[in-house]
Structure formats: C-alpha cells, structure tokens
Structure 1
Amino acid sequence: MIGLIKGFAPYGFSIVVKFGGSLMRDFAVCKTALAELERLCRSGHRILVVPGGGIPDKAIESIDAVHRLTPFTAHHACALAQDQTGYLLADPAFSSSVVCCSTLGECRSLAESGKIPVLLPSRILFAMDPVAWSWDITSDAVAAWIAWVTDTPRLAILTNVDGVYRNAVTDDPAALIREITAHELSQLGHTSVDACAANFMAEKGIAGCVLNGSYPRRLADWLEGKRVTGTNIGISPKKSSSAVPSENFGR
C-alpha cells in the first residue's frame, strides 16, 4: 500500500466512483445520485468522482461517425468532454458539496475537508499520456487507472443499467451477471464496462461493481457488503510470476 511507505502521503480515498455520463440524460436522476454520494461522504466515506464524457462525448462520437476524426482529435476532445461533465456535476444546480479540481493533490485536500472532489482528468491525461488514443478506451478505463494511481481499493461504476448482462440483453433480468472476476469480464469484450478497464482491473487487483445510478442507495448497500442488484467485480487470482505484464492496457 502506498500509504505505508515512509515519505509517501496516502491519498486516502475509500472508493473511486465513475459517474456515468448516461446519468446526465435525466437531471432528476443525476441530482438524486449526487445527493446519495454526499450522504455517504457525511457518513465517513472519502469519495473521488471521475466523470464520464456524457452529452459532449456523444456529440464528438456523432461527428466522428460522419467525418472520421484523427486519433489525436478524438482522444483530446473526449478527455475535455469528461472535464465538461465534471464542471456540471459540481455546479450548485446539481450538488452542494461536490467540487471540481484538476490535480490529485487538490482532490486529497478537498476530501480531507469533507468535500467530494470530482476530478477533471484532461490535465493529468495530457501530461502523463497513460492510455492509447483509441475509441476502445473510455472513461471507465480512465477511472480504473485513477483508482490504481491513488491506491484506492474499490471502483464503482454508476451507469444507466443494472449491471453487466450476458449478450448485452439489458431487458432480461435473468441475463444480469451478478458475480464475475475482472479477468472473466475482460473476456466478454465491450459491455457496460469497456474491456480495457476490465483488463486493467484484473492486472492491478482492483475490485469493483457496476450499479444503476437511478437507484443510488445500492451503492451504500454494496459498500456495506450487502447483496444488491448489480454486477460485483471480484479480484482475479494472481498470475504466475513468469507472466509478462502488458505494456499498454489500451492496445
């Protein structure tokens, strides 16, 4: 654990929450989900929010579908789309104690003061360039990477469906996958979690869940170890020490 190494201050987050841009389609749902995060913060959880691309990201995708964008343009525009969603989440129109910031140091200070930091990730992504410039990389993978960088043990992905479904049959409750390892999830390809994020979680030993943000109380129940409607992502078994790690989880 980073926090146990002398000279390295821990970030101290108990959970990273990827706040799906899909939740912005219904402003009432968005506000209710943020209110639940604020309640969890008051009860002692130190939360770091990583925003999805949301409405701006969809606009970029629609342009790319007609006029193929270069990887440079698409990557940088989508990172800035996450920033835009973050600014909206932190606005008083949606929340009262969510504050946007551009550095992890700011995030740590805000969490220590009882606020919920929402990271505007573009500055870090542009400076460190950790992920491939590819449509395969989404804000899910960025959130998984942030969880690893901050040594946060859990990642919750809030989206507009109940979890991960077999064959993407989201209208069949029987198709909902309730328990799966990160490695098994990565083998399914792109689901309600992108495959790159699942593979990274498997490689780095990050546990998590996929939950419907329309029912935000489920996050509290999951944190308490209760069985909830959603997909619980377990830590994959350790690989043999002879295994060669992937150089770039986005390729």
Structure 2
Amino acid sequence: MNCAVVKLGGSAATAASLPLWLAAIEASTLPLVIVPGGGPFADAVREAQPPLGFSDRAAHVMALLAMEQFGQVLIDRTTRLDPARGIQDIRTALGKNRIPVWLPTQMALSEPTIPASWDVTSDSLAAWLCQTLDATALVLIKQTDDFAPHDTPETLSARGIVDTAFPHFAAQIPALYLAGPRHLAFARDTLPGERIARAPVRKAG
C-alpha cells in the first residue's frame, strides 16, 4: 500500500509538542496511517495489574484499548483524522485524502503472531501494521533525541527506546525512521527523523 505508518508515541500525550506534531501530520501531503501509543492510558493498566492481579492476556486487551483511547484524543483534536479498525477502513480514508488512525484491538486480537505480553507495545504493533499493509516506511515519533543513524532496532531496544519485541517485528519493514523533538521543524511534507540502520546479518557457523 502506498503509505507510511507513523506511530505517535503516547508520551506525547502531555507534551507541549503534541499540537505541533498534529499540525504537521494534518498538513502533510504524504499518505499516512497513524498508530497511537498508549500513553497515560497504558500506564494506568500497568499500575493496576499488580494490585488487581489480572492476567497478561487481560492486560494486553486493556493496553490495546488504551491505544484506542489516545487515538480518540488525536481524532478529537484534529479535523482530518478518521478512526480505522481494519484494512478496508484504512483504504477508504486514504482514498478520501483523509488520515486513518488505527484502532488496533480488532486486528491485533485476531492475529496469533502477536503475543499477549508487555514485550509487545505500540512500537511493535506499528511495525506489524507496516508489514501487514506493505507500507513504504515506518516512522516512530519519540519524545527523545537519543538516537542516531548508526543505531539499529537491537540497540534501540537495549536502551529502552523501543520495546523488547520490536527487532523481531521490524525485521521485514522496508525503511525505519525515528523522529524526536529536533525533527519537528522539518516534519511537513517529508518523512522526518533519522533513518535507522539494519543490524548486520550474522553468518552461520
């Protein structure tokens, strides 16, 4: 599909830069699909799990719904973003020059390769969606500039910038970019951020 997947991290929910990122996204002439992070909604699930004692499966469902809650915030604060629960919704929105916001519960819960684990967050889900859509690129918008072109999914995961499962889910995507605060000024009409390298292929033996 001729589009780029853009994951807007939930940490942006309370950041002063959120309106600026939303303005850049709305003004973009590129076909984009937005994946919302979980932000404070997912944090509430993490905090509630130990005292309430619910399973990782239940936490997984709640975390997906947390992404949908932040997605509804993004839709409410813009005029060009539309909810999208499935691939046809995404196609329809793009065909109308709208920007679909992926609400992941329906697709993610029906996908057996996505484990119910905190190792899989919205980063990995965005990579999975990028591959599923055969999109041209994945952009992760973060609230940090602690990354560089020589980074790989593995080094980013080791530093906690992306989740533990991300290197696996990102292995087949065609292009990966990370964008932080320093890239905001260049976000309109281009894919912002640093293009992230691939880990070197290890030879057997």
Provide TM-score, normalisation by structure 1.
0.73
- Identify the match of residue 51 of structure 2 among 54, 66, 74: 66
Q: Which residue of 28, 39, 45 maps to 1:54? A: 39
For residues 26-75 of structure 1, give each alpha carbon's deviation from its aligned partner in whole angstroms, at most 9, with x where no partner exists.
Answer: 3x5222111101111xx3x1000011111211111111243443111111
Q: CA deviation at 1:205?
A: 4.1
Q: How many percent of aligned residue pairs carry the same amino acid?
A: 26
Assess if the C-alpha contact under 8 Å between 1:72 and 1:133 holds in 2: yes
- Following TM superposition, by how much is the alpha carbon of 1:157 offset from its aligned partner in structure 2, in angstroms? 0.6
State the 1:180 CA deviation.
Answer: 2.1
| Structure 1 residues 231-242: aligned runs within 5 Å | 231-236=194-199
Matches within 5 A, 1:238-249: none
Residue-pair matches, total: 205
Distance in 2 separating the partners of 1:214 and 1:120: 28
- Residue identity in the other structure for 2:18: C
Q: 2:27 is matched by which residue type in structure 1?
A: R
Q: State whether structure 2 residue 201 is matched by structure 1 residue 201.
A: no
The match for 2:184 is: 216
Residue 174 of structure 2 aligns to which amino acid in structure 1?
I
Contact 1:201 1:207 in 2 (8 A): no
2:74 corresponds to = 89
How far did 1:191 drift?
A: 1.7
Are residue 144 (structure 1) and residue 118 (structure 2) matched?
Answer: no
Name the CA shift for 1:213/1:127 in 2 (closer, same or farther; >3 Å): farther
Report the equivalent of 1:4: none
- 2:20 counterpart of 1:32: yes
Residues 1:235 and 1:112: Cα distance change in structure 2 (over 3 Å): farther
> Structure 2: which 5+ runs fail to align?
none
Aligned twin of 2:116: 133
CA distance in 2, matches of 1:191, 1:219: 24
- Tell me which residue corresponds to 1:7: none
**1:100 partnered with 2:71:** no
Q: Distance in 1 between matches of 2:177 and 2:90?
A: 22
Residue of structure 1 equivalent to 2:12? 23
Q: Indicate how the Cα distance of structure 1 residues 159 and 65 shifts in structure 2: closer, same or farther if over 3 A, else same.
A: farther
| SS of residue in 2 equivalent to 1:162 | coil
Structure 1 residue runs of 4 or more that deviate by more than 4 Å after TM superposition: 236-240
* RMSD after superposition: 2.5
For the pair 1:12 / 2:12, whether they are aligned, the reply is no
Partner SS for 2:196: strand
